[in-house]
Structure 1
Amino acid sequence: MSALMPFIRLMKPHLGWVLLGSFLGLVTLLSSVGLLTLSGWFISATALAGVSVVSAQAFNYMTPGGGVRAFAIARTAGRYFERVTTHEATFRLLAQLRSWFYAHLEPLNPARLRHYRSADLLNRLISDINSLDNLYLRVISPSLVALVTAVLVSLFLWWISPSLGVLLLLALSVSGVLIPMLGHKLGAVTGRDMVGQASALRQRTLTYVQGMAELHVYSALDKQQLELQQSQQILLQAQLRMSLVSGVTAALMTLAAGLTTLLALMIGINLVTEEQLSPAWLALVVFCVLASFEAVASLPLAYQYLGKTRAAAENLQEITSQRSDIEFPDQPIVVVRAGEIQFDQVSFAYDSAPVLQGLSMQVNPGDKVALVGHTGSGKSSIINLLSRFWQYQQGRVLVGGVVVESYPEQQLRDQMAVLSQPVQLFAGSVRANLQVADAEASDQQMLALLGQLGMTEMLGSEGLDREVGEGGNRLSGGQRKRLGIARALLKTAPILILDEPTEGLDIHTAAQVMETVFSYRPGQTLLIITHHMQELHRYDQVIRLDQGRRLD
């Protein structure tokens, strides 16, 4: 349970909703028991009262009939409001969990996350957190309700006969503790495996879909499909094993309920024979015992999947327990020369693979600089070091005349606007994506910039309200690129860094985009990573890299 305790503690802000849901669940369950119990007595008593005209006329039909209606109404209303309340509590908890997880994930630098694929992190954020609803919705609250119900109903039967009360308490204890424990033991390993198998299947599926074009080119589709089918089959086999466990525990619960009802019937018949119990109350006892098992009926399945829930919790804690390799100071600093970039004999390696080797360069405020070189020459690593996503091993990196290690995180982010590769867009409108860079930007300012980039036609009649889709999937590749450039240009920062800004654009559009980039903020330092050798005369510096070394 230690893996689950941090998530149980997260219930505190929503404890009111949890307790209200549990209370309504208790009311619903007691109403259900009361309805079946009173109905059993009412039917039996009515039948016995009809033996003679005198007893039939003397029998009070109204009071028990009203009680049956009251229990039925309370059961229906309680079930509705219990479902609403418990699901509201669960959804609030899951929403808080996602915010909590992202709050721990966001500060981690890429060096910490390099061993995790994006599909794996997304799976933890969605699927693993969703798995925790079993903890809140099916384990904690139902267990509390079952405990209180067992005690109250056993006390009621104790009032009728101590032997009946003891029998029911023992039966519910066995059924509510031993059978769920058995289900948990049988399903713990399989449930844990299901978490990893479901994650692997999602990752393989995502890889298959995203890489379908390349797989088709290299005639590897059949192989990937076979691996995908094998992963699916492994998961299906695990689900089958869990279904078999569910069948075993359900059968044991039914057997326990039947045996307990039979024993209660035998005790009740003996009490009736000894005239310690009226015949009509015999039906009450039997139906009360039978109905009380509803309190524990759902527990075996919940505890069976507790291993899966624990595995999901451990997956989340694996991320949230980590700390960033990069530490930012809290004290703001004074920027000496805004817009200046300096690398002084910088060496950097990803693990043991050298990327930059003794790199030195000086970019003065307002300079327009092109970084050129083949793939793997270290160009993108320069962005990572400027942003402090990674830490270099030797030398110094200065921004604005100050070493980057002296900057608080937000102040360092304010020094530069970056267009990464690939462009990251968010599901929402064009306006919302642009306001990420400048929340105060006016519609006129955004429209004017998009017009300079040749995107007015793309907006259509919707204008800035046009939805870009998940990851910008409603836009073409060139439109996504230009929208990303517009967002970078909108940010008021001394340094603008663009990674392959014209990649995928035709010659005319690329020229239009670069003209806008050069003219939009004339005094802004511009650092452009590019493979293209055209128009290099426009730059103040052209820095050529090869295997992490500067060639000139």
Structure 2
Amino acid sequence: MITPDRTRSLPLQALAWALPLVRERGATLAAVVILSCLGSAAALLPPYLTQRLVDDGIVGGKVELVLQLCAVFLVLMVGGVLIETLSRLSYLKLSAHLLFGLREQVWRHLQTLAPTYYARTRGGEILSRLDGDVAEVQRFALDAPMAVLNGVFSLAVALVLMLSLSPLLTALVFALVPLQVAALILSRPWLERSTHAMRKESAAMSSFFVESLRAMKFIQASNAARRQEAGLRAHHGDYFAALRRSQLASLGAGGLQRVLSGLGVLLVFAVGGALAAAGDLSVGVVVAFIAYTTRAAGPLQTLAGVFMGWQRAKVSLERIRELAAERPTVQSPAQPVPLAHPVRGELRLDAVRFGYGTEAVLEGATLDIPSGTKLALVGASGAGKSTLIDLLQRHYDPQAGRLLLDGVRLDLVDLAELRRQLVVVDQEPVLMPGSIRDNLRFVAPDADETALMRALDLAGLGKLAHAGGLDRPVGAMAATLSRGERLRLALARAILQDPAVLILDETTSGLDLPVAQAIIGAVDRVFAGRTRILITHNLASVGAVDRIVELRDGRLVEPDPVRSAAPLLRVV
């Protein structure tokens, strides 16, 4: 689980978050470090050998030495290619492990958050943090230490070799380093602001796509396609403006670094060339030094890139830290109280109070539901019926009062066990992408073919399954199934879960009365003797019930027949 730690600096947080995952691949990390250092060393030797090739071999007229050094060059080139290949493959393995592990931690955290978080947060914003921001932190957490290590090692080796050739030219080249550091510091605020703006616009565009795709049928029916295109163009314009600012910031900072590096090369040309012309320095040394100046610019550019990468990672880490600060509303108890088996399904609400913010939805709600009861729960829209179901499944805990299953407080029961025993079928059930088999095994991964077919038969989908097979795809957003088929498939999933309590939350709302009665008939046959709670606006669709309870003004009461008969019997 990711946890925000404001006592640490952001760089330390990024590294601390990734460290446990890196430790799991310690051998791979060691291989990457060793191969990286070997590759850097192999790349730094040619300029030094070039000096001997020019001065001792070519100028000195030693053909044998020239051939020997050419052979060494060939070995270094082939060895460098092999080392780079092994290094990149090892790094890919380590990088993928780290990225996937960090993303899984964020996903694990997201799965603990309450429905209210998803109600107030745009889907594209969550996707942006889960994908782009996690990847940015991963790159910094792994790439930055590796880049710093490789850059410092390369600079140290280059410095030793350059000093051995010419201390004066070495001093000229490294005299520009303070200017490069100052340029990076001055560019930092610009980089940070532009990166934050680009992340924000990227998240807004992702949200536009997610929400528009979900509402595509409505957009088509409303003749709003052109307006949506105009909205997309507006998002593109905002994103391009933010992207341009970010690119200008990166190009400005990087360009200044390249100019300063180029200035170092020009100084070597000017001073080294003058010394060589005066006979105070060999041509080979000047040639080698020009090569080293160019190559020394690489590690310096890498270190500058780490700095600019940190500005991007800092924004991403702040965004992930905001997500991590969202705390779960409920957690499974450390030492859960086991339910007696078989679970009877007896429910009790004892003076339950719950509200969102200052608005109370339930106020002293009290109700006893004996095991095996078929109860119809009615009430006006917005009265809190769905909130009550969320409390029973422990998406929230009551702010006062108690909810009990078989005499055990719900907050003392293992969360997974509670949700296995108390299953909800919504009026718009969520079906996952894939086939009918995939959707059934989503809730019962170990169920065999016989159990799957039995569940479909009991739910009234036997003909559909036999005709198309369990491999029939449900389509995007279950578009290949009718609403009645989607409800029956959700009922088949509930049958496989085999709960002690089944809740139908407006499941038959909007269906033709015969279809609704057929679905309720299947429920009564399969779940006879178990606790059933049917939330409805149409009592005619739920058949005979043992009890009717109305949720009114935050309380559970017996309905007044005169006051409520009309709305309760209305087909909606």
TM-score bracket for the superposition, by shorter chain length: 0.7 to 0.9
Q: Secondary structure at the match of 2:65?
A: coil
TM superposition score normalised by structure 2: 0.84
Q: Secondary structure at the match of 2:150?
A: helix
Partner of 2:73: 68
1:246 equivalent to 2:219? Answer: no
- Tell me, yes or no, if the aligned pair for 2:151 and 2:302 is still in contact at 8 Å: no
1:28 equivalent to 2:32? Answer: no
Q: Secondary structure at the match of 1:188?
A: helix
1:6 equivalent to 2:9? Answer: no
CA distance in 1, matches of 2:268, 2:451: 80
Q: After alignment, is 124-133 or 488-497 more displaced?
A: 124-133
Partner of 1:147: 152
Residue 498 of structure 1 aligns with an amino acid whose one-letter code is L
- Tell me, yes or no, if the aligned pair for 2:123 and 2:207 is still in contact at 8 Å: no
CA distance in 2, matches of 1:374, 1:494: 27
Q: Equivalent of 2:450, from 444, 448, 464?
A: 444
Q: Deviations over 1:50-104 (max 9, x none)?
A: xxxxx36x44232111122122223323333333232322221111112211333
- 1:112 is displaced (CA, Å) by 5.8
- 1:273 is displaced (CA, Å) by 5.2
The 1:477–1:297 alpha-carbon spacing in structure 2 relative to 1, beyond 3 Å, is farther
Partner of 2:569: none
CA distance in 1, matches of 2:510, 2:67: 82
**1:429-508 counterparts in 2 under 5 A?**
429-456=435-462, 458-459=464-465, 463-468=469-474, 472=478, 475-503=481-509
**1:344-359 counterparts in 2 under 5 A?**
344-359=350-365
Q: Equivalent of 1:401, from 404, 407, 419?
A: 407
- 1:330 is displaced (CA, Å) by 3.2
Consecutive unaligned residues in structure 1, runs of 5 or more: 50-54
Residue 295 of structure 1 aligns with an amino acid whose one-letter code is P
CA distance in 1, matches of 2:135, 2:214: 25
**1:330-369 counterparts in 2 under 5 A?**
330-333=334-337, 335=339, 338-369=344-375
Paired-residue identity, %: 24
- Tell me, yes or no, if the aligned pair for 1:429 and 1:468 is still in contact at 8 Å: yes
CA distance in 2, matches of 1:506, 1:273: 99
Consecutive unaligned residues in structure 2, runs of 5 or more: 1-7, 561-572
- 1:152 is displaced (CA, Å) by 0.7
The 1:119–1:361 alpha-carbon spacing in structure 2 relative to 1, beyond 3 Å, is farther
Q: Secondary structure at the match of 1:11?
A: helix
Q: Deviations over 1:348-406 (max 9, x none)?
A: 32223332344333321111122234432322112111122223344433222333333
The 1:504–1:38 alpha-carbon spacing in structure 2 relative to 1, beyond 3 Å, is farther
The 1:513–1:119 alpha-carbon spacing in structure 2 relative to 1, beyond 3 Å, is farther
- 1:190 is displaced (CA, Å) by 0.9
The 1:302–1:183 alpha-carbon spacing in structure 2 relative to 1, beyond 3 Å, is farther
Q: Deviations over 1:146-171 (max 9, x none)?
A: 11111110110111122233334444
- Tell me, yes or no, if the aligned pair for 1:18 and 1:141 is still in contact at 8 Å: no
Partner of 2:212: 208
Partner of 1:86: 91
The 1:504–1:84 alpha-carbon spacing in structure 2 relative to 1, beyond 3 Å, is farther
Partner of 2:4: none
1:308 equivalent to 2:315? Answer: no
Partner of 1:425: 431
CA distance in 2, matches of 1:473, 1:47: 77
CA distance in 2, matches of 1:122, 1:349: 29
1:108 equivalent to 2:113? Answer: yes
The 1:19–1:7 alpha-carbon spacing in structure 2 relative to 1, beyond 3 Å, is farther
1:255 equivalent to 2:259? Answer: yes
Q: Secondary structure at the match of 2:362?
A: strand
- Tell me, yes or no, if the aligned pair for 2:345 and 2:531 is still in contact at 8 Å: yes
CA distance in 1, matches of 2:481, 2:137: 36
Q: Secondary structure at the match of 1:294?
A: helix
- 1:307 is displaced (CA, Å) by 2.7
The 1:19–1:335 alpha-carbon spacing in structure 2 relative to 1, beyond 3 Å, is closer
Residue 490 of structure 2 aligns with an amino acid whose one-letter code is G
Residue 457 of structure 2 aligns with an amino acid whose one-letter code is G
Partner of 2:383: 377
- Tell me, yes or no, if the aligned pair for 2:114 and 2:328 is still in contact at 8 Å: yes
Q: Equivalent of 2:418, from 412, 416, 419?
A: 412
- 1:445 is displaced (CA, Å) by 0.9
- 1:243 is displaced (CA, Å) by 1.7
TM superposition score normalised by structure 1: 0.87
Residue 158 of structure 1 aligns with an amino acid whose one-letter code is L
- 1:457 is displaced (CA, Å) by 5.2
Q: Secondary structure at the match of 1:61?
A: helix
Q: Deviations over 1:418-474 (max 9, x none)?
A: 224542333455434323433432210111211333434555788444554665466
CA distance in 1, matches of 2:542, 2:333: 38
Q: After alignment, is 259-268 or 221-230 more displaced?
A: 221-230
Q: Secondary structure at the match of 2:382?
A: coil
- Tell me, yes or no, if the aligned pair for 1:335 and 1:401 is still in contact at 8 Å: no
CA distance in 2, matches of 1:536, 1:83: 63
- 1:192 is displaced (CA, Å) by 1.5
The 1:263–1:322 alpha-carbon spacing in structure 2 relative to 1, beyond 3 Å, is same
- Tell me, yes or no, if the aligned pair for 2:453 and 2:465 is still in contact at 8 Å: no
Figure out how many residues of one structure are paired with residues of the other and give that number.
545
Q: Secondary structure at the match of 1:538?
A: coil
- Tell me, yes or no, if the aligned pair for 1:430 and 1:468 is still in contact at 8 Å: yes
Residue 503 of structure 2 aligns with an amino acid whose one-letter code is I
The 1:280–1:406 alpha-carbon spacing in structure 2 relative to 1, beyond 3 Å, is closer
Residue 20 of structure 1 aligns with an amino acid whose one-letter code is A
- 1:315 is displaced (CA, Å) by 1.6
- 1:137 is displaced (CA, Å) by 5.3
The 1:282–1:431 alpha-carbon spacing in structure 2 relative to 1, beyond 3 Å, is same
Partner of 1:52: none
Q: Secondary structure at the match of 2:398?
A: coil
Provide the aligned C-alpha RMSD in A: 3.3
Partner of 2:139: 134
Q: After alignment, is 462-471 or 358-367 more displaced?
A: 462-471
1:96 equivalent to 2:101? Answer: yes
Q: After alignment, is 488-497 or 393-402 more displaced?
A: 393-402
- 1:485 is displaced (CA, Å) by 1.9
